[in-house]
Amino acid sequence: MEARLLRSLSQILGPLALVGMLAAMYAAFIHAPREATMGDVYRIFFIHVPTAINAYLAFGLVFVGSVLYLFRRKFRWDTLAEIAAQQGVLFTTLAMVTGSFWARPVWNTWWTGDPQLTTTLIMWFMYVGYLIVRGALQPGEQRARLAAVFGIVAVVTLPLAHFAVELWRGLHPGRGGMDITVEMRQALMISMLAVTLLNGYLLVKRLQFAQLRRRAEMLREQLRQIRG
Amino acid sequence: MKADHLRRVDGGSMRLFAAAWAILLKDIRNEARAPKVVAPMFLFAFIVLLVFVFAIDPLNMDVLPVFPGILWTGVFFAGAIGMARMFSGEMSRGSLQGLVAAPIDRAAIYFGKFGGGLVFVGLTAGTMTPLLFLFFRQNITGPWWQLASVLLLVNVGFVAVGTLVAAITAQTGQSEVLLPILLFPLSIPLVLGAVELTAGLLENGSFADNAHWIWLLAFYDLLFIVLGPLLFDYVVEVS
């Protein structure tokens, strides 16, 4: 049942993500006009914002998976949390790297002590820590339980990172802080959708992979019992 | 799970308090016999202090802008050393299972450990802060209780979250390394608040411009005092 659901999901999400990414590239490079002050550099924004939002989405899923694991005690929720944490770290890294490329010409520096940057980095450390805790424990009930507790605690860094722009007013442009045209808004929406689809596709694929691995493990165990 | 019915028989907040108090006294007694938490924390704090004094040379430069940062970096580093060892006694003797199996609410274990951490980290921070002021030739212009209340607010939050994280990392067997890695990012709001408030106190001797930081610290403290015991229940569960 669950395997079939994942398979159909991946069959739908895969092509959609591909089409979405191509459309996003067209929208970002051709449909959206040059920006008045920054020129073409601003186009990084079409990958930077979607990856940042998707990092939040993934870390939100870590929280959901952790809470559900503690209540339901099903390993699938633990697996969801683990995979979401890895993807969240990936997307946060992408957001920080693309942001850095943008900051070099616009702020004339790769990195500053701006609140948005700092809180994002803290969030990144938090979830890398989450993955390190998992790595330090043997697979099983204890690891799932302790990781779930930490996955719940770690969520406090999300609002901190998300509202940093409003709370401290640093250099980082806030929501609605840039003058954007209708075409730019459309391009942003398309790239947001595309990256979210990609995020979902990766998640489903990796859930499938985890499931196959679990099945292989079970078969191996059965084989061992037959032989032994 | 079997002990659940026992636990419910004589619950109640008085019993929770009494059990937490007993665990706190046990930890203090243990420390008095062989200071395994406080001694390394104190030593580390003094070494950090000396390193800062040598590295920054407070006699020949104006350290006022960096002093709050130095103060709190020292306190947090030393605090992490202590928190990493809060459960080391239980882990090495295997007595955590004993505590968990006792017919008390697990929140009592959390609050007992929390109280212990509060005393040990508070002692270290309370000794270290005046010494740092002395070595760096700083003066607070306002009344001393203002700084003391910042120390207390920060200490409560740090130990509340530290106790929870220490209980997790103690079970990995790599607490000394893992705890700081997990605890520092979590305590960033505390560091920010503490540094801003201290800087305000050093400059104009009052909290006047910084009231929002006090609220942030208080909110953080409250959050983890509520969340801590709730999640601790899952951390020490015997499967």
pLDDT at B6: 44
- Judge whether B121 and B77 are in contact, CB under 8 Å: no
pLDDT per residue as tens digits for the range B42-74? 999 999 989 988 888 888 888 888 899 999 999
Establish if B165 touches chain A: CB-CB under 8 angstroms. yes
Average pLDDT on B206-219 reads 85
User: Per residue in A11-28, pLDDT tens?
Assistant: 999 999 999 999 999 999
Please give the tally of structural domains in chain A: 1
Question: What are the chain A neighbours of B176 within 8 Å (beta carbons)?
Answer: none
pLDDT on residue B20: 93
Q: What are the CA-CA distances from residue A80 to residues A68, B5, B234 (Å)?
A: 10, 33, 19
Residues of A with CB under 8 A from a CB of B: 70, 118-119, 122-123, 125-126, 129, 132-133, 136-137, 141-142, 145-146, 148-150, 152-154, 156-157, 160
**Is there a contact between B237 and A122 if contact means CB atoms under 8 Å apart?**
no
Residues of chain A with pLDDT under 50: none
CB contact under 8 A, B165 and A150: yes
pTM for the whole thing?
A: 0.88
Q: Is B100 on the interface with A (CB under 8 A)?
A: no
Q: By CA distance, what is A156's nearest residue in B? A: B186
3-class secondary structure per residue, A54-102: HHHHHHHHHHHHHHHHHHHCCHHHHHHHHHHHHHHHHHHHHHHHHHHHH
Distance from CA of B222 to the nearest CA of A (A): 13
Q: Which residues of chain A make contact with B182, given a CB cutoff of 8 A?
A: 126, 129, 132-133, 150
Report CB contact under 8 Å: B188, A142. no
- Interface check B223 vs A, CB under 8 A: yes
Q: What is the pLDDT of residue B239?
A: 60
- Which among A123, A143, A146, A158 is the top mutation candidate for probing chain B, defined by the most B β-carbons within 10 Å of its own β-carbon? A146
Q: Which residue of chain B is at minimal alpha-carbon distance from A161? A: B189
Domain carrying residue A174: 2-227
CB–CB of B168 and A149 under 8 A? yes
> Is the CB of residue A52 less than 8 Å from the CB of residue A95?
yes
Q: Does B212 touch chain A (CB under 8 A)?
A: no
Tokens linked to A135: 């790595």
B219 touches chain A (CB under 8 A): no
Rounded CA-CA distance A23/B170 in Å is 50
- Judged by CB atoms closer than 8 Å, whether chains meet at A146 and B235 is answered as yes
Predicted local confidence at residue A178, as pLDDT: 67
Q: What confidence score (pLDDT) does residue B5 get?
A: 43
Q: DSSP states of B106-126 as a string?
A: HHHHHHHHHHHHHHHHHHHHH
Give the other-Cβ count within 10 Å of B64's Cβ.
Answer: 14
The residue extents of the domains of chain B are: 4-235
What does the pLDDT read at residue B21?
94
ipTM of the complex: 0.84
Measure CA of the first residue to CA of the last residue in chain A; give whole Å.
Answer: 32
pLDDT surpasses 50 at B39: yes
| CATH code, domain carrying A7 | 1.20.120
